[in-house]
Amino acid sequence: MTPSNSFPVVIVTGLSGSGKSTALNVFEDLGFFCIDGLPSEMSPKIADLILKFDSQYRGLALGMDLRQLEFVDGWGQALRDFHELGITPQVLFLEARMNELVRRYATTRRPHPLESKNLGLEQALEQEKELLDPVRNGAALVLDTTNYSIHDLRRVIQTKWSAIEEVGRGMRVHLISFGFKYGVPSEADLVFDLRFLPNPYFDEKLRSLSGMDESIAQYVLGSGVGNEFERRFLDFLSYMLPLYADEGRYRITLALGCTGGRHRSVSVGESVLATLKKKGYTVSIEHRHMELG
């Protein structure tokens, strides 16, 4: 079998406690052959072996982390070995805020792989974050699980699978609409404040709708400042994104915020999504707070 998007190889990794085991369970439910705790130098060989045989599986998901002490040191060579075999692995990197990771460890009472007599939990987490930074920078998709329950994480990964599935050689763009009242997405590379746009919330006939509705999009972007903003903003992104790609960026996450994350940010996000898809970008979107607003 030739490695391609028809049988993708996904590396699931990230900070300890951020949900890797749950993510692997999701991929298993999606029809993937899953292996956890695999040493990095073995992963290309395993992937090549599985790809050589016809399989009833949809893809291969490999879980890697610092439980294998040589993971970071062997990561660069593993990627080179993958490429020599004609395999382009897609890296899903999971993370969460420090206070949430500490809370999760306190709940499970399991030791961190770097924790020792001379290194407490928070120090171990900080060291792990620093060690894994090169892996994170090369990831196709970064997912912050801070505010997710196990069920939320499952739902989000299933929703985002189409984005992971489409990852190719070029840079991919992930859009997040959000509400400032609920917090700015920590994984965002660029944050845009859209609270200056016309707000449908103050129109009782429109308040219950969302930015997914055409009447809301027309209200926000149909005339005046909204129309002019949309034109300039899309021109700006069309100019900016190729410059990031030229610098070798694998991905970029754009966060679009309004007050509640239901109307303005969603409308703009959908407009950006449609435009970037027409331009050939691999692009995905997440309306993080639309149902809360």
Q: Residues forming the annotated binding site for GTP? A: 65-68
Place of tokens 């020792």: 116
State the DSSP code for 213.
Answer: S
Q: How far apart are CA 234 and CA 272, in angstroms?
A: 7
Hey, what are 141's tokens? Answer: 């998709």
Residue 263 CA: distances (Å) to CA of 94, 144, 180, 269, 289: 28, 23, 13, 10, 10
Which helix (H) or strand (E) segment is 28 a member of?
helix 20-29
Is the distance from CB of 101 to CB of 132 less than 8 angstroms?
A: no
Identity of the residue numbered 152: D
Identity of the residue numbered 31: G
Hey, what are 16's tokens? Answer: 């300890």
Binding-site residues for ATP, please?
14-21
Identity of the residue numbered 115: E
Binding-site residues, please?
14-21, 65-68
